[in-house]
A = this chain, B = another copy of it.
Amino acid sequence: MESRVNFKKLEKRGVTAAAGFKAAGIAGGIKKGKKDIALIYSDKPAAAAGVFTLNRVQAAPVHLCKEHLHNPIQAVVINSGNANACTGLKGMQDAQEMAVKTAETLALKKGAVMVSSTGVIGMPLPMDKIIPGIEAVANSLGRGIDYDLATALAIMTTDTRPKQTAYRCSTPGGTFHIGGMSKGSGMICPNMATMLAFLTTDVKIERDLLQQLFAEAADSSFNVITVDGETSTNDTALVLANGAAENIEITPRSEYLPLFKEILSKVCQELAMMIVKDGEGLTKVLTLKIKGAADECGGRKMARSVLNSPLVKTAFYGEDANWGRIIAALGYSGIEFDPSKVDIFIGPYQVAASGGAVPFSEEKMKKVLQERDISILIDLKLGQSEVTAWGTDMSHEYISINSDYRS
């Protein structure tokens, strides 16, 4: 039976891999000579689910998305180059106007449009460029490799490359797809940071179930990556499910629910990892597993504390197995644990046992630390939970990029 269900990665595909979706990305003049307006369109009204920044300062488009989230959705319009954050009442009006213009151009209701923005904070949107840009992008919609790429390029800011992935799942009941794109490289922290992700799928699914599954997938992907501990004002991850894959309906009792969950998580994790790997100025990608925390929530908080620690990050940049900085960062995470029980491994080698030093070969460790990908395992020996999180080192390049971003 198992062999009749399989899934396949679709190379170079993203938001239009799923049936019934079109997309486009164009240069609207917000950023000099680069693509900066993207549009995703579904032929049919789609169920939408989303997770948003936990920052108390939330950009205007985030407010609009939350308002529209329970509506049937047919379009997502996104601009890069300006975040429309800290822009007051004018910002809310501009976000509304983006939705209205998109709806008019595509003959939809305003409430069927989601809006997203990323870029500089505190400057009004250049609506003189955005309004004609929306008309242009709506006239450019299409399906396939070229359209996926153009769309993924148009949402980039300091990203050095476009980020997208897609899967086709074949089952005896029919075929369905999940694909998506993301952006983000600086200001990335768990619980959403200036990162955007947009997923599309052609399964049929109730909104509430989609929201539940998407929130779970985000918790083990977008919410466990960190570059610099910053949580932005604009973070948004959305998924649209339009039901265009005939016969495939995902319900709590559907036989394909586990497959759908697995592929949804896979797409989210791949999109999240692409953000980490494009982290500003990184030279190392850190994969941190924390075993034995009292619960997953606490484990994640500890993982963030370690991966956000400037002293841990600079130690890995310096290729130094400084486990004392790791245990100190666990200690100020705010989560209860027993320091005298903690084991720590870097790569395959144990560096701390029961909270104290373990001798290791400096030579063998050097080889582990010279790699670009480094795994860290912490065993707290308290409970049964296990969480994995991803982060980066912090380099001279990080300082360079961020000390002259605005000017």
How far is the CB of A317 from the nearest CB of chain B, in Å? 5
How far is the CB of A327 from the nearest CB of chain B, in Å? 6
Closest Cβ neighbor of A308 among chain B residues: B229
Contact present for A231 and B314 (CB under 8 Å) = no
380-407 of chain A: CB within 8 A of chain B: 394-396, 398-400, 402-407
Chain B residue numbers with a CB within 8 Å of A399 are 314, 317, 394-396, 398-399
308-345 of chain A: CB within 8 A of chain B: 309-311, 314-315, 317-318, 320, 322-325, 327-333, 335-337, 339-340
Chain B residue numbers with a CB within 8 Å of A249 are none
| Whole-angstrom CA separation of A87 from B329 in the bound complex | 16
Closest Cβ neighbor of A354 among chain B residues: B88
Say if the beta carbon of A85 comes within 8 Å of chain B: yes
How far is the CB of A399 from the nearest CB of chain B, in Å? 5
Chain B residue numbers with a CB within 8 Å of A396 are 396, 399-400
336-382 of chain A: CB within 8 A of chain B: 336-337, 339-340, 352, 354-357
287-324 of chain A: CB within 8 A of chain B: 309-311, 314-315, 317-318, 320, 322-324
Contact present for A406 and B230 (CB under 8 Å) = no
The one of B231, B357, B402 that contacts A331, using a Cβ cutoff of 8 Å? B231
The one of B309, B335, B406 that contacts A320, using a Cβ cutoff of 8 Å? B406
Closest Cβ neighbor of A321 among chain B residues: B406
Contact present for A402 and B57 (CB under 8 Å) = no
Contact present for B87 and A356 (CB under 8 Å) = yes
How far is the CB of A232 from the nearest CB of chain B, in Å? 6
The one of B87, B186, B229, B356 that contacts A86, using a Cβ cutoff of 8 Å? B356
Say if the beta carbon of A215 comes within 8 Å of chain B: no
Contact present for A309 and B404 (CB under 8 Å) = no
Number of this chain's copies in the assembly equals: 2
Main secondary structure of the interface of A (DSSP, over half): loop
Say if the beta carbon of A209 comes within 8 Å of chain B: no
Closest Cβ neighbor of A229 among chain B residues: B310
How far is the CB of A95 from the nearest CB of chain B, in Å? 15
Chain B residue numbers with a CB within 8 Å of A94 are none
Interface centre among A231, A352, A398, A407 (most CB of B within 10 A): A407
How far is the CB of A226 from the nearest CB of chain B, in Å? 11
Closest Cβ neighbor of A91 among chain B residues: B356
How far is the CB of A375 from the nearest CB of chain B, in Å? 20
Contact present for B57 and A327 (CB under 8 Å) = yes
Q: Which of A19-27, A118-126, A237-245 contacts B (4 or more CB under 8 A)?
A: A118-126
| Whole-angstrom CA separation of A56 from B123 in the bound complex | 42
Say if the beta carbon of A259 comes within 8 Å of chain B: no
Chain B residue numbers with a CB within 8 Å of A231 are 328, 331-332
How far is the CB of A101 from the nearest CB of chain B, in Å? 23
Given contacts A340-B88, A355-B86, contact A314 B403 (CB under 8 A): yes
Closest Cβ neighbor of A355 among chain B residues: B86
Interface centre among A187, A318, A323, A333 (most CB of B within 10 A): A318
Say if the beta carbon of A228 comes within 8 Å of chain B: yes
Closest Cβ neighbor of A281 among chain B residues: B399
Interface string of A64-86 (1 = CB under 8 A from B): 00000000000000000001011
Q: Would you list 22 pairs from A and B whose C-beta atoms are within 8 A, ordered by A residue?
A: A56-B337, A57-B328, A86-B357, A87-B357, A121-B324, A123-B357, A228-B311, A230-B311, A230-B329, A233-B324, A233-B327, A233-B331, A310-B310, A310-B394, A314-B402, A314-B403, A315-B402, A318-B404, A320-B404, A320-B406, A322-B406, A396-B396
Known: A230-B309, A231-B331, A320-B403; 9 extra A-B contacts, CB below 8 A, are A56-B335, A57-B328, A86-B339, A88-B354, A88-B355, A317-B399, A317-B403, A318-B405, A396-B399
Report, nearest first, the 3 A-B pairs whose CB atoms are least far apart: A121-B324, A318-B403, A57-B331
